[in-house]
Amino acid sequence: MDEALERTIAAIHRSPCQCVIAAAGTGSQALAWLIRVAGASHTLLEARLPYAKASLRDLLGHRAAHCVSAETATAMARWSLSRALELREGDVPVLGVGCTGALSTTRPRRGMHGVELAILSPGEGPEQEHQAHYTLRLEKGARTRGEEEDACSLLLIHALALACGVIPGFTLPLLPGDEMHHEGDLSPLTDLLQGRARHILVSQDGRALADAAVTGGVLPGSFNPLHEGHRRLAEVAAELLQAPVTFELSVENVDKRALTEGEALRRAQQFWGWAPVALTRAPTFREKARLFPGCTFIVGYDTAVRIVAERYYASAADMQEALREIRDAGCRFLVAGRAHAGAFHTLADVPVPEEFRSLFQEVPPELFRLDISSTELRARQQSSAGAILERPRPGA
């Protein structure tokens, strides 16, 4: 089993959630993975594999109009949730999972290859269930049956992790011809995007906690991608501050489009097994200070320039009021030098108003210096990818 998958399942087992899973046509590999990792009894109350149509009819209490459909997956999830409520001991949170799919077989299949997946958790009333729905349509002929089963089972683990408040440590193995759709509110990222949480703190093992306390240093960024410069800066800052450093990724940005849930998930996954990251909707440092009072924000020269630039505020008075609010929250800035416009610039080059100079501290250049940006790294990666695509095939 892949290490990232195993660690994700271990995090699911450490969560308080318990579940019943009903899977037809696909998803059996996910069950095997869940049971293979120690702690499965903390998570899995029961599993049913109604493979024959008659077995599925017995489980649902009626004949499904279509075995592979969102409606059938939801009905299976509702049965699973009812069963979980019967089996749980005490008041532990429970989930009902319904998974129904169709994969390649011994005869050509005219319909879709893929899976419909639903997860339900109880709400305050029968009409207030929390739900998540996933549809994955696989490109026909692009995988073996075993590979199709793995892809659908990975989606089940992915969805179960999010419903348990865990950011999965792996990415789904989607191909260009695949189609995936997701809707619902069983995800810590959805809690953030819909305003039910002010921020989500994701630990190194993927556990996502709403509005958990953050202390020490906070290193904001877009992390597209996370690179060695970010890692080294965090290490140096932790030494200077004598405090832990948490990364911060805002899904909203002053200058760019808001991140989708999928893109926020992809960027958060980069920190798996290495460092905590806080996901926020705080594009400005005034808003960040409200979320993380008493913290030191670790920024580069170019960001420091924007912090004191009037054009990023309604007026000069608004800029000064924002800096006072940051100061009153007990926050300050640790500024690292950066290459910009062909020269290396430090805090000495930032026009900080005299009143707020005590808010800013420099990272000594001899401790940290980086002359490449995420933009340049992305350009290099795209160039390398293009070179690979254009490379002649052997024998061509």
If pLDDT is split at 50, 70 and 90, which confidence band does 394 have?
A: very low
- Determine the pLDDT at residue 387: 42
Q: What is the CATH number of domain 3-186?
A: 3.90.950.20
Q: Residue ranges per domain, the chain?
A: 3-186, 192-376
Average pLDDT over residues 173-193: 95
Q: C-alpha dihedral over 211, 212, 216, 217, to 10 degrees? A: -50
Torsional sign, CA 320, 321, 326, 327: positive
The Cα–Cα gap between 323 and 319 comes to: 6
Q: What is the pLDDT of residues 9-34, one digit of tens each?
A: 999 999 999 999 999 999 999 999 99
The whole-number pLDDT of residue 341 equals 77
Task: Answer whether 264's CB lies under 8 Å from 190's CB.
Answer: no
What number of H helices and E strands is found in the chain?
13, 16
Question: Could you tell me what percent of the chain has a pLDDT over 70?
Answer: 92
Q: Look over the chain and give the mean of its residue pLDDT values, rounded to a whole number.
A: 91
Parallel, antiparallel, or unpaired: how do β-strands 338-340 and 296-300 relate?
unpaired
Tens digits of residue pLDDT in 85-100:
999 999 999 999 999 9
Quick check: helix, strand or coil at residue 167? coil
Element (H, E) at 302: helix 301-307
This prediction's pTM: 0.89
Task: Report whether pLDDT(224) > 80.
Answer: yes
Comparing 106-110, 255-259, 363-367, which segment has the lowest mean pLDDT? 106-110
Q: What is the DSSP string of 243-293?
A: S-EEEEEESS-SSSPPPPHHHHHHHHHTTTTT--EEEES--SHHHHHHHST
Span 268-288, pLDDT tens digits: 999 999 999 999 999 999 999
For residue 256, name the pLDDT band (cuts at 50, 70, 90): confident
pLDDT at 384 over 80: no
Same fold, 3-186 and 192-376: no
Give phi and psi for 355, each to the nearest 5: -60, -25
pLDDT, position 275: 96
* Residue 172's pLDDT band (cuts 50, 70, 90): very high
Residue 241 makes CB contacts below 8 A (sequence gap 6+) with: 216, 217, 296, 334
Q: Are 233 and 275 in contact (CB under 8 A)?
A: no
Please report the pLDDT score of residue 243 as a whole number.
Answer: 98
What are 95's strand-pairing partners? 19
pLDDT of 2 reads 93
Q: Are 335 and 296 in contact (CB under 8 A)?
A: no
* Residue 267: pLDDT over 70: yes
Beta-bridge partners for 151: none
Angle, CA 374 vertex, CA 373 and CA 379 arms, to 5°: 100
15 burial level (CB within 10 Å; 0-12, 13-18, 19+): buried
**CB of 29 closer than 8 Å to CB of 150:** yes
Digit-coded pLDDT (tens) for 229-249: 999 999 999 999 999 999 999
The neighbouring-strand residues paired with 220 are 248
Is the per-residue pLDDT at 395 higher than 90?
Answer: no
CATH of domain 192-376: 3.40.50
* Residue 179: predicted pLDDT: 97
